[in-house]
Structure 1
Amino acid sequence: MEGLWMKTGSKNNLVIAGSGSTSGGNYNDVKINGEGRVNGDLECVHFRTNGKSEVKGGIQAESVQVHGVSKVAGEVKVQQFKVNGHAEVQADVKSEEVKVYGYAEIKGRLSSEEVEIKGGVSIKGDCEAERFSVKGGFHIEHMLNAGNIAIDLYRTSKVKEIGGEKITIRKPSHSLLDKVKMIFNLSGELSAESIEGDDIYLEHTRAKVVRGNHIHIGPGCEIDRVEYKGSFKSDKEAKVRDCVQQ
């Protein structure tokens, strides 16, 4: 079945119901209910997948919502990027707000004002945001740079470098974490080469270097070197091999 076009104002709506494909273009709302493919760049107000979709170009829109599985070959530039299933973007994602309640794989960079992860995300490039919060896990191959970083570790996470103003990395309460680990066989730990910020609190983190003004190393941490300016505190269950006040 090919796409169905419905006139709304000066632009058409595009609906693919069942299975079908269409060319790219400029639309009002785009909905894929079933399995659909767009062969080119797509510019629209709202894009929504309720099944399986593939866009052979990029997407520029006010919002992208994935309820199912979606693969995008080009850059995604939107105001809101929301994933309730599985999304793969083979280029950069630029969005004012990113919410992932499933899993997102981004082969380029992620730039956003606010990133909220309640699931998992993999980013090949850098991640830049004003606020970055996670209740789940993530893998960032390069740098995470955000003003406020709040991470609840439900699974093993990895990042090369972290930079921010306030950085808080915690492990959830033992009772809740134990239930999650029993169901999904997961462990919560973060590994990084360097972490740098103003106020830093870490739990269950492995890092080569932690630099900052006020640093609190909590339980389960293994840190090779801490460099601090203001204050430093270390939990008795943490391992800090070298500590220097600058």
Structure 2
Amino acid sequence: MDKNNIKSVGDIHLEAGDYGDISCAGDLRFSGSVSAENVKAAGDLVAEKDVRAVKISVYGDGKFKGNLEADEISVYGDGNFHQRVKGREIKIYGSMKGTVVEGEKITINGELEKVDEISAEELTLNGEFHVTTSMNLGYGKFNLGGKSEAKEIFCEKLEVHNGMESFHGILSGLISKGKGGTLKVGVIEGDEIHLENTAADVVRGKIVKIGKGSRIGKVEYSDTLEIFDDGVVDLKEEF
């Protein structure tokens, strides 16, 4: 049986159900658990319960009080996720709050205001982020634009840069930090690690590069350690 498609030039309020495509030119509200094919809201989206979809695009603010799972998730405003978020590709252009975030490819342009835990095969962060526990990454690229922090970062490859040269176009309206940013973290562990503007207690990896604006308490490395542009390492240990 064909699923019901919903389209409106105004606001939409939907009860729990299994839908096809949902397109809303105004604000969209789900009062119950919803599954759908493609969801598009030109205004704000508020979901009271769990949402499952193939693709979700929100061009205002998105508030998801239940779990969210979709192949593609795009929010072009602020995203507030109260429960678990899982997607193949997640894009946020604004700020994001969440608990547990999982994705294959995640891009955040703006501020990761607060997340308990984030996992991704590929994570690009342009701006500022605050992660209360761990980041588990395949490849991470951070262009810093504020005072960022995390407790632990586990990765295959990580690049942390002063992000000023990266902030142009849409980012100029999201990030106005003046002189780039910094990262404070307890432990970073991975295969290839390249750090700028980073303060860390311990960095452990195969190939480690400590650059401009960085101060590391202890570096443990198995292959190479390179310190450049006035980077500081208090204790070095090869293993």
Compute the TM-score of the two structures, normalised by the length of structure 2.
0.90
Structure 2 partner of 1:66 = 58
Query: CA-to-partner distance for each residue in 1:80-132, whole Å, 9 max, x for gaps?
Result: 011111121110111011111222221x2111111112222244322111111
Q: Which runs of 4+ in 1 moved over 3 A?
A: 15-20, 172-177, 179-187
Secondary structure class of the residue paired with 2:146: coil
Displacement after TM superposition at 1:245 (Å)? 1.3
Query: CA-to-partner distance for each residue in 1:45-64, whole Å, 9 max, x for gaps?
Result: 01122112211111100011
Give the direction of change, closer, same or farther, for the CA distance of 1:184–1:198 in structure 2 (3 Å limit): closer
Structure 1 partner of 2:43 = 51
Query: CA-to-partner distance for each residue in 1:194-217, whole Å, 9 max, x for gaps?
Result: 101111110000111000111110
Give the Cα separation in 2 of the matches to 1:224 and 1:78: 41
Give the Cα separation in 2 of the matches to 1:117 and 1:123: 13
Q: Note if contact 2:216-2:234 (Cα within 8 Å) is conserved in structure 1.
A: yes
CA RMSD of aligned residues (A): 2.3
Match of 1:200 among 193, 202, 221: 193
Q: Note if contact 2:219-2:236 (Cα within 8 Å) is conserved in structure 1.
A: yes
The percentage of aligned residue pairs carrying the same residue is: 28
Give the Cα separation in 1 of the matches to 2:235 and 2:152: 19
Give the Cα separation in 2 of the matches to 1:162 and 1:81: 24
Give the Cα separation in 2 of the matches to 1:11 and 1:147: 37
**Structure 1: gaps of 5 or more residues:** 1-8
Residue type of the partner of 2:235? D
Structure 2 partner of 1:240 = 233
Q: Note if contact 2:163-2:180 (Cα within 8 Å) is conserved in structure 1.
A: no
**Structure 2: gaps of 5 or more residues:** none
Give the direction of change, closer, same or farther, for the CA distance of 1:99–1:240 in structure 2 (3 Å limit): same
Deviates more, 1:122-131 or 1:11-20: 11-20
Q: How does 1:17-56 map to 2 (within 5 A)?
A: 17-56=9-48
Q: Note if contact 2:78-2:93 (Cα within 8 Å) is conserved in structure 1.
A: no
Residue type of the partner of 1:189? T
Q: How does 1:94-133 map to 2 (within 5 A)?
A: 94-106=86-98, 108-133=99-124
Secondary structure class of the residue paired with 1:18: coil
Q: Note if contact 1:139-1:158 (Cα within 8 Å) is conserved in structure 2.
A: yes
Secondary structure class of the residue paired with 2:26: strand
Displacement after TM superposition at 1:176 (Å)? 6.3
Q: Note if contact 1:139-1:159 (Cα within 8 Å) is conserved in structure 2.
A: yes
Structure 1 partner of 2:158 = 167
Structure 2 partner of 1:138 = 129
Q: How many residues align?
A: 236
Compute the TM-score of the two structures, normalised by the length of structure 1.
0.87
Displacement after TM superposition at 1:193 (Å)? 0.6
